[in-house]
C-alpha cells in the first residue's frame, strides 16, 4: 500500500506497489524501492537510492542521496521500546523518545544489518552484512560484526551522484 501522504520524486520505481507499506514518507527522484519494504511517516529517502526487499525504515530515519540498503535491513528509533509503561498502562505515542538516525550520501548497508537509533553513518561508509551498528560510523569507514567495529576504510575515490536533471 502506498498512502496518499507519501511524496514521490520523479522517476521513483516501486517494485510491486501492492506489496510495500509506505506512509507519510518522502522518497527522492530516481530511487528504487523493493518488494515487502516498509517506510514509516517522517522518514526521508534521498535521490537515486536503492532500498532492497524486506527492509524496514522507521520514523525519524533520514537517508541521503545515492545510498544502497541491502535486503532485510532493520532501522530502529527507540532505545528502550516497550508495550506498557512502568505503571502497567499501555504506551502511547507520547510515552517514548524518538531518536533520529542519519545515513550520509553514498553509504552502502549490507543485507540483514540492524541500525540502532540516534546514530549517524557518515558519507561513503560501508556496513557489512549482518552487522549491528551501535554507534556512529565515521565517513568512509568499513564496519562489520556484532557490535559493528571499524575494520577498514573505503578508498576516497571521487564519486558524484548522477545528474539526471531531476529535482
Q: What is the CATH number of the domain that holds 130?
A: 2.160.10.10
Total domain count, the chain: 1
Range(s) of the domain holding residue 51: 7-81+94-153
User: With the C-alpha atoms ordered 82, 83, 86, 90, is the resulting torsion angle positive or negative?
Assistant: positive
- Under 8 Å between Cβ of 128 and 142: yes
Would you say residue 38 lies in a domain? Answer: yes
Would you say residue 163 lies in a domain? Answer: no
Q: What cell does 131 get? A: 552487522
- Under 8 Å between Cβ of 40 and 27: no
- Under 8 Å between Cβ of 39 and 54: no
Would you say residue 68 lies in a domain? Answer: yes
| Rounded CA separation 1/105 (Å) | 27
Q: How many CA atoms lie within 13 A of 31 on its CB side?
A: 26
Would you say residue 114 lies in a domain? Answer: yes
**What is the pLDDT tens value at each position of the chain, 167 positions in all?**
999 999 999 999 999 999 999 999 999 999 999 999 999 999 999 999 999 999 999 999 999 999 999 999 999 998 888 888 888 888 777 777 899 999 999 999 999 999 999 999 999 999 999 999 999 999 999 999 999 999 999 985 455 545 445 44
Please give the order of strands across the beta sheet that includes 38-39: 21-22, 38-39, 56-57, 74-75, 114-115, 132-133
Would you say residue 43 lies in a domain? Answer: yes
Q: What cell does 118 get? A: 540516534
Which residues on neighbouring strands pair with residue 115, listed in sequence order?
75, 133
Question: Catalytic site residues?
Answer: 80
Q: SS3 for 17?
A: helix
Amino acid at each position: 500500500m502506498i498512502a496518499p501522504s507519501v511524496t514521490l520524486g520523479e522517476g521513483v520505481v516501486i517494485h510491486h506497489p501492492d506489496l510495500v507499506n509506505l506512509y507519510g514518507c518522502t522518497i527522492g527522484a530516481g530511487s528504487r524501492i523493493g518488494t515487502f519494504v516498509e517506510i514509516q511517516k517522517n522518514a526521508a529517502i534521498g535521490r537515486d537510492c536503492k532500498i532492497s526487499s524486506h527492509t524496514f525504515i522507521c520514523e525519524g530515519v533520514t537517508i541521503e542521496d545515492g545510498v544502497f540498503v541491502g535486503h532485510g535491513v532493520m532501522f530502529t528509533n527507540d532505545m528502550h521500546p516497550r508495550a506498557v509503561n512502568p505503571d502497567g498502562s499501555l504506551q502511547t505515542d507520547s510515552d517514548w523518545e524518538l531518536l533520529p538516525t542519519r545515513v550520509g550520501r553514498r553509504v552502502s548497508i549490507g543485507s540483514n544489518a540492524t541500525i540502532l537509533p540516534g546514530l549517524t553513518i557518515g558519507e561513503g561508509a560501508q556496513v557489512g552484512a549482518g552487522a549491528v551498528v551501535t554507534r556512529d560510523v565515521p565517513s568512509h569507514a568499513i564496519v562489520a560484526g556484532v557490535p559493528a567495529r571499524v575494520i577498514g576504510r573505503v578508498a576516497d575515490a571521487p564519486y558524484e551522484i548522477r545528474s539526471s536533471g531531476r529535482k
